[in-house]
Structure 1
């Protein structure tokens, strides 16, 4: 899965930059996948005893975002995708340092 992380981060950045072209279904799928990856990365880092990055308020509130995702304006959705990409990237860098 490690090699898939940079590809997914790229997909998040691409979708954030072209958010008006991303369907509601795809937006939900991207955010759900991002939330899962962030959770898995945090668990892996916690198991190694390493420090975790502090999540942004957006990443920390993904459960609330899911409830409103279908009515989310494009600029806000773009911001959410970028925040998720950045958190995944940071956690990936931290985990790479422990290998």
Structure 2
């Protein structure tokens, strides 16, 4: 599952980069000198909408994945002795704090 999320995120980034380059080419007038400018604009919109939707989908799945794994750890440690459970959850909080400080 984690590999699928990583691949989805990388594809979303690639799609956003391609549409950004196409949009820059159209907006800056680089494509205006050629008759394919109208086709490039149509292609830009045709790629941008699916790229944004795919990016939204992949980021939503990443969030749900992290929420689910956090819930799984809490459920699995529920039957542990209190001291061991607190130690595990403190270690998990420390890991989250180091890996994603903006979210904690």
Q: TM-score, normalised by structure 1?
A: 0.41
Q: TM-score, normalised by structure 2?
A: 0.39
Task: Considering Cα pairs closer than 8 Å and 6+ residues apart, tell me whether 1 or 2 has the greater RCO.
Answer: 1
